[in-house]
């Protein structure tokens, strides 16, 4: 899975967590404030709810940016690595458990399908489907509104007569043409009640003034993106309810309506609407709980100057560390480029194979240390190397080669002597070979190994190690660069020469960036960094 997808997944999961926590905390804070005799007004409560939503969506983004810009604590300390005090590769810092020899050939671990990409695709498709369905219903509502009889117009707001039993509601549509984009729908029964008609229209116009109808689209996106999340749907319903209370409060506080007349209008609206009637998607209206709204009219709550700021500040103090911690847990802790470079320098034995840490080495390092599959492979390689090390290293020393080339055997076979038909994994791309060094038949014969039906000397660890040392010595003499020699070990000398001609550079990093070489050399270097610092697998 790519790093970008991993970051997006961690961002989404952190937002989902905060959507479950922030609205609940905001609701509890408002309830506690009311219980302590310092209730906030409906409009202030609505601001708190919107602030909780904004914090839930924005704080994970800020936490992600902080993780990218600010170095966090390292996964390791150099004091834990004995490589800085040794002249050659250190022994593993941990003692593997004695392995019980299986009766037959070991089967490779089962390959499980990538769960996270599949889940991400499911959520993406589901979210798009939910939003498309809601927008289609919204478009159908627009066509229905255009067919209803128009009673009057207030600016660009069209007041139309709904069908019998339909609740009063308001809706807004983004339109470029000079046609009504804002609508108010009133029940036909209100034509016989002039005061009720006036109050209903005032209420719905207040929704437009507060831009509730435009924010309804944001709620559609929220419930679409988190269609599976009860917290997102609960927050959407809570905000819709607070919008109604805020409209009622604004109208009564402005003096444009009398509380008793407005309460009577709310009661008549509740009695005239069918119990099964519901508001269309993306609309706001008067079909919300009536009792609480009427009680609020006669229990005015003064606006407290610092109430919203204090509550949101307290909420922020709790959510910021939660977002930071959950972001780190969801995304996982990866070694940074600076950390890897410092670690390579600190653990470099004198005269041994150098590790040049670039973006490719870093990616392979994090893949090997940050995934269960990668850690299992490398731990198996370290355990095998403990028993095979002298047999593999002696031919390298005889040729005057750096002992760090043992990382080639680690990457090729996890330092395991395997026949060509063995199904156990290898980190090396390309044709599969045999033995610890994974020689293919052609190369094995060229370096004096017998490969026939009667005998396969690739499975003779000493003979193949001698051939591998000779091959690596020849490749280094030919290219004069260990990274190019490693690339040739995997892809062949002709491929490397073609890459040098096409790339116009002898820098392995540039050749990999341009796609002329694969990342085999980077994988070997990442494996070598782990060999020198096995605590990275902890």
Query: What are the extents of the domains in the chain?
Result: 3-69+120-322, 334-537
**The CATH classification of domain 334-537, taken from the options 1.10.530.10, 3.30.9.90, 3.40.190.10, 3.20.20.80:** 1.10.530.10
pLDDT score of 335? 85
How many helices (DSSP H) and strands (DSSP E) are in the chain? 19, 5
pLDDT digits (tens, 9 = 90+) for 159-205: 999 988 788 999 999 887 777 889 999 999 888 899 999 999 999 99
Rounded CA separation 228/212 (Å): 24
Evaluate whether 482 touches 354 at the Cβ level (below 8 Å).
yes
Residue 340, φ and ψ in degrees, nearest 5: -65, -40
* pTM for this model (two decimals): 0.60
pLDDT score of 80? 38
- Report CA 289 to chain centroid distance, whole Å: 38
pLDDT score of 307? 85
pLDDT score of 457? 97
pLDDT score of 68? 59
Evaluate whether 482 touches 522 at the Cβ level (below 8 Å).
no
Alpha carbon distance, N-terminus to C-terminus of the chain:
22
pLDDT < 70: residue spans in the chain: 1-4, 67-116, 273-290, 300-305, 327-333
SS (H, E, C) 163-223: CCCCCCEEEECCCCCCCCCEEEEECHHHHHCHHHHHHHHHHHHHHHHCCHHHHHHHHHHHH
Strand arrangement, sheet containing 169-172: 150-154, 157-161, 182-186, 169-172, 284-285
Beta bridge pairs of residue 439: 434
């Amino acid at each position: 899975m790519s790093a970008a997808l991993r970051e997006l997944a961690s961002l989404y999961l952190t937002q989902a967590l905060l959507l479950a926590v922030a609205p609940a905390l905001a609701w509890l804070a408002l309830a506690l404030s009311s219980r302590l005799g310092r209730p906030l007004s409906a409009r202030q409560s609505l601001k708190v709810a919107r602030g909780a939503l904004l914090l839930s969506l924005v704080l994970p983004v800020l936490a992600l940016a902080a993780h990218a810009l600010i170095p966090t604590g390292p996964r390791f300390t150099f004091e834990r690595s004995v490589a800085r005090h040794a002249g050659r590769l250190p022994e593993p810092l941990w003692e593997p458990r004695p392995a019980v020899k299986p009766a037959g050939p070991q089967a490779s671990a089962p390959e499980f399908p990538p769960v996270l990409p599949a889940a991400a695709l499911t959520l993406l498709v589901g979210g798009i489907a939910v939003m498309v369905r809601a927008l289609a219903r919204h478009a159908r509502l627009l066509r229905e509104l255009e067919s209803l009889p128009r009673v009057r117009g207030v600016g660009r707001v069209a007041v139309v007569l709904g069908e019998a039993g339909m609740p009063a509601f308001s809706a807004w549509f983004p339109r470029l043409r000079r046609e009504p984009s804002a609508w108010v729908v009133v029940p036909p029964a209100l034509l016989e009640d002039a005061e009720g008609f006036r109050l209903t229209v005032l209420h719905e116009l207040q929704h437009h003034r507060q831009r509730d109808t435009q924010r309804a689209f944001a709620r559609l996106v929220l419930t679409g993106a988190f269609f599976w999340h009860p917290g997102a749907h609960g927050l959407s319903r809570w905000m819709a309810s607070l919008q109604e209370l805020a409209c009622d409060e604004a109208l009564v506080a402005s003096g444009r309506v009398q509380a008793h007349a407005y309460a009577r209008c709310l009661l008549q609206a509740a009695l005239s609407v069918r119990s099964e009637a519901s508001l269309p998607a993306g609309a706001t209206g008067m079909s919300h709980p009536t009792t609480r709204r009427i009680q609020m009219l006669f229990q005015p709550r003064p606006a407290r100057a610092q109430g919203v700021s204090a509550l949101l500040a307290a909420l922020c103090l709790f959510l910021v560390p939660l977002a930071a911690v959950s972001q780190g847990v969801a995304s996982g802790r990866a070694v940074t480029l600076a950390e890897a470079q410092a670690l390579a320098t600190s653990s470099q034995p004198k005269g041994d194979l150098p590790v040049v840490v670039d973006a490719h080495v870093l990616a392979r390092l994090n893949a090997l240390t940050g995934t269960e599959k990668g850690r299992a492979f490398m731990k198996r390689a370290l355990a095998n190397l403990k028993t095979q090390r002298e047999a593999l290293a002696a031919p390298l020393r005889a040729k005057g080669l750096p002992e760090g080339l043992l990382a080639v055997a680690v990457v090729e076979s996890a330092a395991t002597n395997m026949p060509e038909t063995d199904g156990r994994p290898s980190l090396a791309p390309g044709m599969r070979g045999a033995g610890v060094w994974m020689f293919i038949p052609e190369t094995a014969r060229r370096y004096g190994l017998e490969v026939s039906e009667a005998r396969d000397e690739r499975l003779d660890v000493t003979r193949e190690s001698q051939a591998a040392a000779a091959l690596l010595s020849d490749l280094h003499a030919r290219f004069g660069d260990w990274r190019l020699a490693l690339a040739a070990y995997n892809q062949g000398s002709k491929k490397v020469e073609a890459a040098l001609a096409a790339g116009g550079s002898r820098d392995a990093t540039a050749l990999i960036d341009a796609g002329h070489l694969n990342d085999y050399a980077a994988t070997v270097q990442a494996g070598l960094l782990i060999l020198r610092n096995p605590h990275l697998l902890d």
